[in-house]
Structure 1
Amino acid sequence: MTPVPVFVISLKRSQDRREYISAQFAREGVSFEFFDAIDGSDKHNPLLKRYNYAKRLWLTSGKMPTNGEIGCYASHYSLWQKCVEMNQALVVLEDDAQLQPNAAGTLELASQKIDNYGFLRMESVLRGETVTMEQGDDYRISWMSDNFGGLRAYAIAPWAAQKLLSASQRWSLPVDNYLGDAFTHGMESYHLHPNFVENTDAFETTIQFYEREKTPFYRKPSRELYSAYRKLKRYLHNKKIKKSLKASG
């Protein structure tokens, strides 16, 4: 089987990061291409007009997003669109990833499994519960109850990308937070082990960054209520999925 295409999200101006990730792919003998990251400060980009600032300020955060956060979401969103347009599963990386030994073998495995699962996280699971779906001598695929905390590397199938697009006509969350809300878009997350990449501290992120800013007190009540609503919906959704997995297993 031919491995699925690999796209690395990277700002055009980040030449040092591009050289860093290119050297890793060359070392592992894996083909890839860069996807020019969307600059969140480019107010002429029509995709950025989808951002729901009212919901952001009064429900999901209470404070304005950074340009980096907006650009990060738009970049991933654009690759979901590309996935659907190509009708081809993709592997998506951010340019601060550290490829692991046998990355080529992990990519081949992801290529074999992605159409069945839709979304495979290809980096470490940070937290939450996992339930093993299948396991071989040298791999394991697990359902994830919590897919918050970064989108440094993942594989995605067209049908899963379409779910994310359909439920995200406008957005107000960081992109990894949106991915974690499976109750919203109906796309479950699964983890593929061994990891394709690991986190690295070689660079500070240039795609997404956060500023220290306090939420105004008058926005906190609505934000806290909406946060409680999301937690309840997530709990009920995960309970339903775990019951289904137990019944089918």
Structure 2
Amino acid sequence: MTVARLTGITYYPVKGCAGTELSEAELTSTGLRHDRTYAIADEKGDLRWQWGDPGLALITPESAEGELTLRAPGREPVRADSADVHDWLTDVLGAPSTLVRSPDGNSGRLHLVSRASLDALNHRIAERGGTALPMNRFRPNLVVDGWDAPHTEDGAARLTIAGTELAFTEDTIRCAITMVDQRTGRRSGPEPLRTLADYRRADGGGVAFGAYFEVRRAGRVAVGDEVVVGSRTSPAAASRSA
């Protein structure tokens, strides 16, 4: 039997902006440390999101020694605590923008997607003549490879990774952000929502892809760690429209 392993760890210091890939990370009771600590607000104080501002995908936050720096193509980097950061964001996004503390942070959740789920989706997209999508379209915190069945994450009530334990909370209901090309910062629909609508409709509406977990036992994880399904939810949840 294939051993499932953690093959990706990504956190998003600024909500809606590009993620930072890690080789190892600390999982705390509130999720990945520093995940979605900041957000970007418009002139009304509403938080910007990628479908409305796809250029957010081109802003890359980098954290080092407790300092957060923002980078974007063709711009000089700026520190998050600089007096110039708001003008910098306004220039990059082309509209008044302010860096703020995210009101909800990461909500104590980890977003997990398996490679098997993405492979199954891309197979369906290819059958209708479309192009395969990269994992970053779904902006997961954790990526697992090695599960034979797609959407195993849906039915995993408990997961253990190294010394940590995660508990399933809910399916991830996908929105229009999945149609933003994370490389170019441009809208690029209709996939994946068009194809997901064929076979991943959620009972409460929308389409589901990936799952949210909460940290029940904190600790450190690293790329390459084995991922073990400790217990499962109902068979219906595990096999729903997969």
Instruction: Output the TM-score relative to the length of structure 2.
Output: 0.27
Q: Tell me which protein shows more helix as a share of its residues.
A: 1
